[in-house]
Amino acid sequence: MENAPQPPGQTPSERLSELNRAILESALDCIITMDADGLVREFNPAAERVFGYRREDVIGQELASLIIPPVLRERHRQGLAKYLETGEGPVLGRRIEIAAVRADGTEILVELAITPLQVSGRPTFTAYLRDITERVRTERRRVAQYSVASLLAGPSSLREIGPQILQTIAASGDWVFGAIWVKRELDAALKCAATWRSEADGLAEFEEVTRATSLIGSKGLPGRVLASEDAVWVPDVANDPAFVRASAAQVANLHGAFAFPLCGEGGPIGVLELFSHSTVHPDEDLLQLVEALGSQIGLFIHRRQMQKELQRQKEAAEAANAAKDQFLANLSHELRTPLTPVLIWAGAMAGDEMLSADMRDGMQMVCRNVELEARLIDDLLDLTRITRGKLQLNLRNADAHELLRHAVEIVRSDIETRNLTLHVAFEATNGSLTVDPPRLQQVFWNVLRNAAKFTPARGSIAVRTFNRTPATFNVEVADTGIGIEPQHLEKIFDAFEQVGSRGEGLGLGLAISKAVVEMHGGSIRALSPGAGKGATFAIELAAM
Ligand code: ADP
């Protein structure tokens, strides 16, 4: 390799130091050299930029008093003395992260590596530093944002996660106390919903005062933030006449405060405040952090408030429903009781030979109508028993065919009056069931009565039983009547549901039948090809 031409008159050592200077000047990292007395020997341009000192002002000065934060200075001096005495330096030759201080007094975070060198028999230390303040802050912000977001995504209430949220945000500075305030919907007063305090002494009382305080309008720091919809810095709350809790803050030695709005969907609904022992100044970094968090926490509070409101409405609706059921139960009972003596008396009179035929016909008409009314009320009573879980089955063995036969007999006169044809086919070989016989007969009768009611004159009704499997007893009641639209096939089993028809009845028969069949472990469903095309009701029960 060709030797580079040397400028005339330069010795090799002059040449070396010029090279050194070029390296120092072009380096991106701060390079600071300190001698064994702790004095600055070199301070490159990058160090000048980061620390705000001029090289000529710091050469020969004690490094400790320039760039090392006051609280670390003594440790630094002792470390140097120990190294000179023993040759041991735990921070040497390693990469460490540490606080440093700039000429204007602001603190920064640096990554630092120190290399000791012997120069003319004495140790010299070269420090390579890099300002990592921004990187660390961004990282901290990211961690805080992530931690708060994962807290907000959980199922917990603000009361439960509030302290953790406050602690996470407080970790971004020297904050020792924090509180979350939420606007009460009732009177728009701000009430404290969560607090967090550090281990520092004297904060419990301030916490108590904060929790007991309620602020109306733009009063106090939270009120001011809510009204302005903007973050507020207070250098010293203890001496701020507008700060409601000033005397408590004085006792707790709290001075600096920072508060920002928490925004829900319709604007700010709360405030988060932080306090420190020292006075504070606006910090752009913290502002950036809370900008996103403010709306995340606000939306969370908004969501929880909505859920609470929905829950309240649900409970109110359930209470109203229970009151309605209770009312129906009482009403049905009160209506039913007076009918019994009327029926007994009218029944006896209807058969009294001493009375004229007209009179007896009249009594029969009274009986029929009172019976009808009694049946409607019985349905209502059954329904209220079902909804209140009070319907009980008295199970015993019974022949399902027998029950069905009785039900057919009860509706037979209806069928005949309407000129309907009835086909009965009992094909099931196993009709022995464990059931509540009167209840099951009531189900069969409901379905048969509907078939008769919804089938026009000269139509037909077919009743068939079979065992779909050896373990089931199946009944099908098919009619050629008005049929059911597909969209109503399920709805007709709801209480008070009557589709298109306004015949006698309350729309309870099928609701009661479904509940009774299901209490037996069976099923009932309606099938129909559509309006005017007849309907089939299929019941399946467990056979023995
Ligand atoms: P109700 O007969 O007292 O109205 P139900 O609960 O027994 O009450 O029946 C509910 C509704 O289901 C009836 O109003 C009617 O619209 C429909 N429905 C029941 N059975 C039939 C049927 N066989 N054919 C057509 N529609 C029916």
Averaged over successive runs of 10 residues, the pLDDT of the chain (544 residues) comes to 56 76 81 94 94 95 93 91 89 89 91 89 92 85 88 90 94 89 87 93 92 88 92 91 90 94 90 91 82 90 91 93 85 87 91 91 89 84 84 92 93 92 94 92 95 95 95 96 94 82 73 94 96 96 86
Ligand 1 pocket, residue 443 CB under 6 Å:
no
236-276, pLDDT tens digit by residue? 998 888 899 999 999 999 999 999 999 988 889 999 999 99
Strand partners, 275: 177, 257
Pick among 3.40.190.10, 3.40.50.620, 3.30.450.40, 3.40.47.10: CATH of 136-299: 3.30.450.40
Q: Which two tokens stand for residue 17?
A: 């130091």
Supply the pLDDT for residue 501. Answer: 56
Q: Which amino acid is at 204?
A: A
387 C-beta closer than 6 A to ligand 1: no
Distance CA 211, CA 193 (A): 8
Q: What is the DSSP letter of 62?
A: B
Q: Give the model's pLDDT for residue 6.
A: 54
Q: How far apart are CA 186 and CA 189, in angstroms?
A: 8
> In terms of residues, how long is the chain?
544
Output the residue whose Cα is nearest ligand 1's atom 20: 450
Give me the sign of the Cα torsion angle 340, 345, 346, 347: positive
**Which residues face 179 on adjacent strands?**
195, 273
The Cα 31–Cα 43 span in angstroms is: 6
Query: Which residue in this structure is represented by tokens 């070199």?
Result: 42
The DSSP string of 210-259 is HHH-EE-TT-HHHHHHHHHTS-EEES-GGG-TT-TTHHHHHHTT--EEEE
- Determine whether the shortest distance from the Cβ of 508 to ligand 1 is under 6 A: yes
- Non-local (6+) Cβ contacts of 182 within 8 A are 158, 190, 191, 193, 262, 269, 270, 301
Select 12-131's CATH number: 3.30.450.20, 3.40.50.300, 1.20.120.430, 3.30.70.20.
3.30.450.20
Residue-wise pLDDT for 41-61, tens only, equals 999 999 999 999 999 999 999
Distance from the alpha carbon of residue 188 to the mean position of ligand 1, in angstroms:
52
CATH fold label, 396-542: Heat Shock Protein 90 (3.30.565)
| Opening angle at CA 198, ends 195 and 199, nearest 5 | 130
* Spans of all domains in the chain: 12-131, 136-299, 396-542
Collect all residues with Cβ–Cβ distance below 8 Å to 287 and sequence separation of at least 6: 231, 260
Give the C-alpha separation, 489 to 528, whole Å: 8
Distance 383 CA to ligand 1 centre (A): 16
pLDDT at 434: 94
pLDDT score at 131:
93
At residue 5, the pLDDT reads 55
Please name the residue whose Cα sits nearest to atom 16 of ligand 1.
499
Q: Do domains 12-131 and 136-299 have the same CATH topology?
A: yes
What one-character DSSP code corresponds to residue 6? Answer: P
| DSSP SS3 for 3 | coil
